[in-house]
A = this chain, B = another copy of it.
Amino acid sequence: MIDRLQIQAFVERALMEDIGFCDLTAEIVIPKHATAEFAINARHAMVIAGIEIAGTVFSRYVPECKVELLVEDGTRATKGQVLARITGPARGMLSAERTALNILQHLSGIATLTSTYVEKIAGTKAVLLDTRKTTPGLRILEKHAAQVGGAKNHRLSLADGLMIKDNHIAVCGSIKAAVATAKKMIPVLTKIEVEADRLDQVAEALEAGADMILLDNMSNEMLREAVAMVKGKVPLEASGGVNLDTIRGIAETGVDYISVGRITQSAPAVDIGLDEIIRT
């Protein structure tokens, strides 16, 4: 779910950053007419994200090369599985290789970690959410990877959702006043979420007509009370200090969503290799 012009602009910027004025090694050491065969493979079990973008890196930089994708985003690859084959002019393919791998390893890392979180809450009604804690310049790519790994997306940007926090409430006087102002002004297909630190705020947010309530840093006990209080009238999102040890317990409180910054902000890259044959 990423616009193709966004992908193209991202890929061009990424290639220009890594290559700079020129790839000295490829230009000097690789003969102009050498050809290459690349096989990209998973070095351990992982969830793939970004395979089309990685393919685009090669086809954008070397339009003459042939890109064959053997998996699609969301594939649970096994150790050793070949993900893609690329054949074509060696020079350009070697220049593009690192950029393609950097993207694929990063996004698959996010999808893989996300899927681990998702598995932890399997069987509960809770759904994992991503956040705006993403790497600058990679917002939509990382949110795509999170979705591929099984999460739903929270806001894509500050322009597509309202989130009223305690400070906002303080300056507006009350949740009710803040929500009322917001309702009058927001685009009609946009929802309003209110952050609550205490149960009375949950009640107030509900009454004010919030579309969704963020339960921030609450104990599981409080979460359960909030769930009981709201009775499914609006979705509840639990947030704060969620990790692989705590998420199951949180999910079992009955909240609708659990948001986790770590899946985009702290996912280790997966190990994806590239076997290459070069022919002159």
Contact = CB atoms under 8 A, between A and B. Distances in A.
A135 interface: yes
Interface stretch (A78-86, A118-126, A158-166, A244-252): A158-166
Interface in A42-85: 61
Contacts of A17: 136-137, 139, 157
Interface stretch (A25-33, A200-208, A218-226): A25-33
Contact of A3 (B21, B162, B189, B235): B21
Interface string A114-135: 0000000000000001001111
A38 B274 CA distance: 43
Interface string A1-31: 1111110011011111111111111111111
Taking residues whose C-beta sits less than 8 angstroms from the other chain, chain A's interface range is 35 or more
Contacts of A109: 266
Contacts of A191: 188-191
A155 B109 CA distance: 24
Contact of A187 (B9, B26, B61, B154): B154
Nearest to A9: B16
26 contacts: A2-B21, A3-B16, A3-B22, A3-B159, A5-B19, A6-B16, A10-B137, A20-B20, A20-B160, A21-B139, A21-B143, A24-B185, A26-B158, A29-B181, A29-B182, A30-B168, A95-B158, A98-B132, A109-B266, A152-B185, A156-B187, A160-B160, A160-B190, A190-B191, A191-B191, A261-B269
